[in-house]
Structure 1
C-alpha cells in the first residue's frame, strides 16, 4: 500500500482547496482513496488479531467525507484535506469507541481512541459513573508504562467536579471531563514506508485497547440518539 501517495494527494488538495481543482483531479482522488481503503483493510485484519469485534467491517463504510460544512464557519474552504476513519464494532459511529485514524498534511495526522463526542450527555454521565465506581481499574490502565509512554488522556472538562460526585474522589480530575480520548501524533515522514507505518499503528492501537474496553463497558447501555 502506498501511504505516501495518500499524503501527497492531501498536500495537493490543501494547496488547491477549490472545487475546480478537486473535480479536475478526480483520478488522483480515486487513487489515493483506494490506497486509504487498502490501508484500512490491512488495519482491520491486524487489529482483528487482538480485537475480533471489528473484523466484519468494510473499509468503505468507515470513512468520512472530504466535503466540509461551511454554513457556520468563517473558513469557506470546501474540503477538509484529510482522510479519516473510525474502526469499531459498530463501524464509524462514535459509540462504541474504537480506533481512529486521520491522515492530514503538515503534521496534523494522528491515531486516536476513546470518546470524542462530548455532545452526548448520557454517554458522559455513564463514563463518569463508571469511573467513580471503578477508579482503581482506571488508574491501573492509565498507570501502565506502555500507556504512559504514548498517551495522555485528553478531553473537554469542567472547572469543578460536577454535582453528585465526590470532590475528594481519587479520580476527581477525570470526573470533570465530558469526553475522554487519546491522540498519538504521526509525522508526515512516517508515511514514507506503508508497511512500517501499518506495523507501528497496530502496535499503538493494541496499547490503547484496554482504555477503549474500559469506556465501552461504561457505555454498554448507551444508545445513539435517533435522527429527527
Structure 2
C-alpha cells in the first residue's frame, strides 16, 4: 500500500465546526462531512504506521480504524453534558489501541490543543504501576540514561500523576525516588494547527515518535508480563 495525501485541514475544519455546534442534531445533519474527515484521519494514521514502522515493525500489522476512539462522550458523571468530544484520537501499539503495551498516541483538537503522546497513561492499573516502579528500582541507571539523553530532552519531560511521598515498600533514598512517586509515566509534545496542516507533518510527527522509542522500550520491558484485566 502507498501513503495517501492527507487533507489535515479538513480534519481541523470539521472538529472546529463540531465544537461550535456540539449537539446531536448538527452531528447527524453533517454525518457525511464527519465520514470524510474521519477517513482523512484514518489515512493519517496509516501514513504514521508506515513511517514509524521503519524503526518499530511491531506496529505494522495494525488497521487504522481499529486504533481510533469515538467522538461520543460519556456524560453520566460529568457536569459538561455536551455529547461529543471534538477531537480525533488514536493509539498505535503492538497490540492496537489498548493502553498496554505502550505506544504512540495522537490527539487532534483545534486551536492548538493537539499533541503527540506516548508512554503509560493508564494509572488505573495498579499492577502496571507496580511493575514499572520495580523495574525503575532495578534499572535506575538505564532509566536515567534514557530520560537524560539529549535527543529525549529536546522534546520531552516525563509527565504523570505524582504522589506526595515515595510509596511504602520503596527506598526513599533511591536515586530515582522522585520517579517512584509517579503512578503513570507519559510524554506529551504539543502541536499547533499550523504544524498539523503543514505538508511535512507526517515526517515531523515520525521524528517525534522515534525519539520516544527508547522510553517505550523501557516501559514495555517492565510491563512484559502485564495482562489486561478481563471485562466483567
Report the TM-score when normalising by structure 1. 0.99
Q: Does 2:208 match 1:204? A: yes
Within 2, Cα distance between the matches of 1:142 and 1:191?
26
Q: Deviations over 1:56-77 (max 9, x none)?
A: 0000000000000000000000
Q: Does 2:29 match 1:37? A: no
Report the TM-score when normalising by structure 2. 0.97
Alignment match, 2:126: 121
Alignment match, 1:71: 76
The counterpart of 2:89, out of the listed 77, 84, 95, is 84
Within 2, Cα distance between the matches of 1:167 and 1:149?
29
Structure 2 gap ranges (5+): 1-5
Deviation at 1:188, TM superposition (A): 1.2
Q: Secondary structure at the match of 2:216?
A: helix
Q: Does 2:109 match 1:104? A: yes
The counterpart of 2:62, out of the listed 42, 57, 60, is 57
Q: Secondary structure at the match of 2:107?
A: strand
Q: Deviations over 1:15-58 (max 9, x none)?
A: 11010000000111011001000000100000100000000000
Q: Secondary structure at the match of 1:150?
A: coil
Alignment match, 2:185: 180
Within 2, Cα distance between the matches of 1:69 and 1:145?
40
The counterpart of 1:219, out of the listed 187, 210, 223, is 223
Within 2, Cα distance between the matches of 1:37 and 1:185?
20
Within 1, Cα distance between the matches of 2:196 and 2:135?
38
Alignment match, 1:171: 176
Alignment match, 1:152: 157
Within 2, Cα distance between the matches of 1:221 and 1:192?
40
Within 1, Cα distance between the matches of 2:201 and 2:21?
27
In the alignment of these two chains, the number of paired residues is 227
Q: Secondary structure at the match of 1:102?
A: strand
Q: Secondary structure at the match of 1:100?
A: strand
Deviation at 1:107, TM superposition (A): 1.2
